[in-house]
Structure 1
């Protein structure tokens, strides 16, 4: 059976170069390009097949900064493949730090001026927006989205206990494992709290929809 290799962010740059190298080493593997932009992914697939016509390459759409996209990609991977032999975590974004002019000018006239220029502490700032999942974009894209992708492929989320916390941990030897811990709560109270959250979500959705409608009329 062919080895299944998934590379995230495989449509360009290091990801595409990695795919080229993998096929040079073994063009008998099944290569899966997991990308956000399917148009670019298809162009990468065509380019790889032009130099490796025997290769078997499929596409999976995934945006690792969006958990719904990760869930969908995981379901698709499970439908297509019985297992994953290798997962290359390549997709990611790099923070773009910028000079904080306000901190620079205020620091010039303070006692910390030498410390500021020797360490650059406080001089740089960066925007890291919060995603729709409520997480910092850099963290979710570079770390969390990939972790969830692998976790969902290996597990059956529908069988997880909603009253249990699942902690990701690593042994001293570097082996990863998940430790389940039952939460200390009353199930009846938890159910009432959950229903209250659903009611709040509906009310907020109605208010937001009404606000958008009134705004579009102006």
Structure 2
């Protein structure tokens, strides 16, 4: 049975590089490309199938900045699949990208929890109990240059910065630079037993000054009690959002009275 892998933001950047690398690892996968731009995703789908004809690749439309779109995609995925083996939460929201050098270097060396691509996996085969184990990991792709990144500064500035960044890789291996290098930790996690992973560890892609990729780890500054309270608040928020998007029949009439 094919393993089903869902990747958000799969039409470009790290998401697209991850699709290509996973199919090199296993060309019998069923990749589901969760993207905002369906036409662009269909083009990526055709390209992936051309290079890996034994794979299965499908597309689901989702805009991660729109809750209605997220719930609609979730319902569609439930109808399509009995299970998802791996979920790569790569897509993000960047309405006004700006270069913040202080935040950049802080993120490279800090253990503080920040928003990085997430990785989820399910450990139970189809047919088992409906209560299945869900494992989650935090992944840092390093400093990757994509279309979003290049749009922050004028092209001539990047021409000046790139040689400096390459030199910095000899001192800070978090400068992965390319989407391919940035997916190193994501591909590494694909091969791990989920129960062996530490949820308090951040798994990071790294690249040496000579261009060799590897995975490193760093314990996150995370208070477990605070994290549990935050999680419970998120569950409550989810309930409120669901009620807002899908009100109980008659509820509006009662409120109007």
Q: TM-score, normalised by structure 2?
A: 0.41
Q: Which has the higher helix share?
A: 1
Larger radius of gyration: 1
Q: TM-score, normalised by structure 1?
A: 0.48
